[in-house]
Amino acid sequence: MKKILFLSFITVVGLSCQKKQKLEYTEWSAGQPESTKAALLNIDHEKSSVTANYKNKTISFYRQSYSGLPVYNSFFKTLSDTKGLQQIQAQTAQLKEFKSLSKNNDSALDFASLLKNKSASFNKIEIINSEEIIYLENSKPLHLMSVSFFDRTGTPYQAFFKFDGSLLDLKRTGSQFADISTSLYVEGPKLGGLTELLLKSVSATPSLSNSVIAVTSEAEKKITTLSPVLKFDPKDERFDQLQVFYYLDKSFQWMKDNLNVRIPTRINAVVHMGYPEKTNSAFYYQNKIRIGKGDDVTYSNIPQDASIIYHESFHALIDSVAHLSFEGENGSLNEAFADFFTCLMTDRPLLGESSYLKGPFKRNLTLGFKYSEKTGGLYHDSLIVSSLLWELKEKLGSEKAKTLAIETLIQLNPASDLKTFSQKLIESSKNLSVDEQNIILQSVSNKGF
Q: Is the dihedral of CA 185, 247, 230, 215 positive or negative?
A: negative
Q: How far is the CB of 308 from Zn ion (least distance, A)?
A: 9
Residues for the chain: how many in total? 449
Pairwise CA distance, residues 309 & 305, whole Å: 7
Instruction: Using the minimum distance from each CB to Zn ion, give the nearer residue, 148 or 429.
Output: 148
Stretch that binds Zn ion, among 170-178, 350-358, 374-382, 404-412 (CB under 5 A): 170-178
Instruction: Using the minimum distance from each CB to Zn ion, give the nearer residue, 136 or 317.
Output: 317
H or E segment at 316? helix 306-322
Q: How far is the CB of 92 from Zn ion (least distance, A)?
A: 28
Instruction: Using the minimum distance from each CB to Zn ion, give the nearer residue, 90 or 338.
Output: 338
- 318-357 footprint of Zn ion as x/- string (CB under 5 A): -----------------x--x-------------------
Q: How far is the CB of 421 from Zn ion (least distance, A)?
A: 16
Pairwise CA distance, residues 381 & 419, whole Å: 12
65 by Cβ neighbours in 10 Å (0-12 / 13-18 / 19+) ranks as: middle
Pairwise CA distance, residues 40 & 263, whole Å: 27
**Residue least distant from Zn ion (Cβ):** 175
Q: How far is the CB of 182 from Zn ion (least distance, A)?
A: 16
Determine if 428 is a binding residue for Zn ion (CB under 5 A). Answer: no
- Cα within 13 Å of Cα(437), Cβ side: 11
Q: How far is the CB of 275 from Zn ion (least distance, A)?
A: 22
Determine if 251 is a binding residue for Zn ion (CB under 5 A). Answer: no
H or E segment at 340? helix 328-346
Determine if 175 is a binding residue for Zn ion (CB under 5 A). Answer: yes
Q: Which of residues 406-425 bind Zn ion (CB under 5 A)?
A: none
Instruction: Using the minimum distance from each CB to Zn ion, give the nearer residue, 175 or 422.
Output: 175
Give bridge partners of residue 364 from the DSSP assignment.
Answer: 350
Determine if 382 is a binding residue for Zn ion (CB under 5 A). Answer: no
Q: How far is the CB of 279 from Zn ion (least distance, A)?
A: 16
H or E segment at 91? strand 84-92
Mode of pairing for the β-strands spanning 156-161 and 167-172: antiparallel
Q: Is the dihedral of CA 425, 430, 433, 434 positive or negative?
A: positive
Q: How far is the CB of 433 from Zn ion (least distance, A)?
A: 33
Instruction: Using the minimum distance from each CB to Zn ion, give the nearer residue, 21 or 364.
Output: 364
Give bridge partners of residue 169 from the DSSP assignment.
Answer: 160
Closest among 338, 336, 353 to 299, alpha carbons compared: 353
Q: How far is the CB of 311 from Zn ion (least distance, A)?
A: 6
Pairwise CA distance, residues 42 & 19, whole Å: 27
Determine if 73 is a binding residue for Zn ion (CB under 5 A). Answer: no
Instruction: Using the minimum distance from each CB to Zn ion, give the nearer residue, 125 or 178.
Output: 178
Would you tell me which residues interact with Zn ion (CB under 5 A)? 175, 335, 338
